[in-house]
């Protein structure tokens, strides 16, 4: 068979590339061809799946402390992962974050560095941010935003939240109290008016403009194109042609739940495989009962227990893949 192993990371235990390689090895042992594709939905992990970092720039972290942020520059295309410059993890999680002070300055500094390096195309992956500053910090860090006029700016996001709703929707997970959410919402309303005045763009009406606390809206105001993260990655990796030529698609992620079918890798791949009439199955760490029937699912925690699934995920994935393949061979 021609198998495509197109998977997301198993968060905290294995990278997408490692999981794809484990499935690929199982295919090789059974005499099948396998194309291994590490995927991301546009947020955390984007940099790795699009080639990995080859540059590092010291920038302003989400709470003002300097961080060394990796990014990629190759043949005129820069790839920036916001979480590596302005991420919630860098702020110490929701408990360590200061929602009112958290800034996107570092992400703007990376965009500025890419422009200085001569980038003609910039991909910014949103997700995992600590911020709800409407992108103001990033805007102020980009010296002469007019330089973006000759650049293709693509913004990968996996939410449809609009600009002013960003604080209400994402504030709690970034540590914001109800009072702080009201303050952040007011600030976003004021920024929307400012962006309308400066750039002539009504960011409040743009689907997805609230992604990563509103930086998506600011980048749209600067001429950026907001794209579903999975679609952007799929385009970059020529995934559509790979699926069309496959006899079987094996996907996967660490935790299959309802959110997996809202712009995430597994759900998006399931829809894509259905369009091409190609069978698909998922190997996951754990799976919620209410979504197991949406895609043929093999959960390694069911077979080997959660402890071993966490300790030896790749060993488990490879063996489950062998069993899965034997079912489809029959």
Angle between helices 313-329 and 16-29 (to 10 degrees): 40
Nearest Cα to 30, choosing from 70, 64, 62, 2?
2
Is pLDDT of 220 > 70? Answer: yes
pLDDT band at 77 (very low <50, low <70, confident <90, very high): very high
Residue length of the chain: 330
175: left (phi over 0), alpha (psi -120 to 50) or beta: left
Q: Which of 174, 171, 175, 197 is nearest to 186 (CA)?
A: 171
Q: What is the pTM of this model?
A: 0.90
276 pLDDT higher than 90:
yes
Span 260-275, mean pLDDT?
92
Structural domains of the chain sorted by starting position, each given as residue range(s) with its CATH number in brackets: 2-39+238-329 (3.40.50.10350), 46-230 (3.90.1510.10)
216 with 229: CB under 8 angstroms?
Answer: no
User: What does the pLDDT average to over 243-251?
Assistant: 96
- 259 CB-contact burial (10 Å; exposed 0-12 / middle 13-18 / buried 19+): middle
pLDDT in tens, 28-48: 999 999 999 999 888 788 999
Interval 165-205: pLDDT, tens:
999 999 999 999 999 999 999 999 999 999 999 999 999 99
């Amino acid at each position: 068979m021609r198998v495509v192993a197109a998977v997301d990371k198993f968060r905290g235990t294995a990278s997408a590339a490692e999981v794809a390689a484990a499935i690929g090895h199982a295919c090789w042992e059974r005499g099948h061809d396998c194309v291994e594709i590490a995927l991301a939905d546009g947020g955390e992990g984007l940099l790795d799946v699009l080639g990995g970092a080859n540059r590092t720039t010291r920038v302003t972290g989400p709470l003002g402390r300097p961080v060394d942020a990796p990014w990629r520059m190759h043949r005129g295309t820069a790839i920036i992962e916001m979480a590596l410059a302005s991420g919630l993890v860098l702020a110490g999680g929701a408990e360590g974050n200061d929602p009112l002070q958290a800034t996107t300055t570092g992400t703007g500094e990376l965009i500025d560095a890419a422009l200085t390096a001569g980038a003609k195309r910039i991909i910014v992956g949103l997700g995992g941010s600590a911020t709800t500053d409407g992108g103001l910090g990033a805007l102020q860090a980009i010296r002469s935003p007019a330089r973006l006029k000759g650049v293709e700016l693509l913004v990968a996001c996996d939410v449809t939240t609009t600009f002013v709703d960003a604080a209400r929707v994402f504030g709690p997970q970034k540590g914001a109290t109800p009072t702080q959410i009201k303050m952040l919402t007011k600030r976003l309303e004021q920024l929307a008016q400012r962006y309308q005045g400066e750039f002539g763009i009504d960011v409040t009406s743009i689907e997805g403009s609230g992604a990563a606390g509103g930086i998506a809206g600011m980048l749209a105001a600067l001429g950026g194109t907001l794209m579903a993260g999975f679609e952007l990655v799929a385009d970059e990796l020529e995934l559509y042609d790979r699926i069309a030529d496959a006899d079987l698609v094996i996907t996967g992620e660490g935790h299959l739940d309802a959110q997996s079918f809202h712009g995430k890798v597994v759900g998006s791949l399931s829809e894509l495989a259905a369009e091409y009439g190609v069978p698909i199955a998922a190997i996951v760490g754990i799976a919620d009962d209410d979504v197991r029937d949406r895609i043929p699912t093999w959960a390694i925690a069911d077979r080997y227990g959660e402890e071993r699934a966490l300790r030896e995920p790749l060993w488990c994935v490879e063996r489950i893949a062998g069993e899965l393949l034997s079912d489809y061979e029959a």
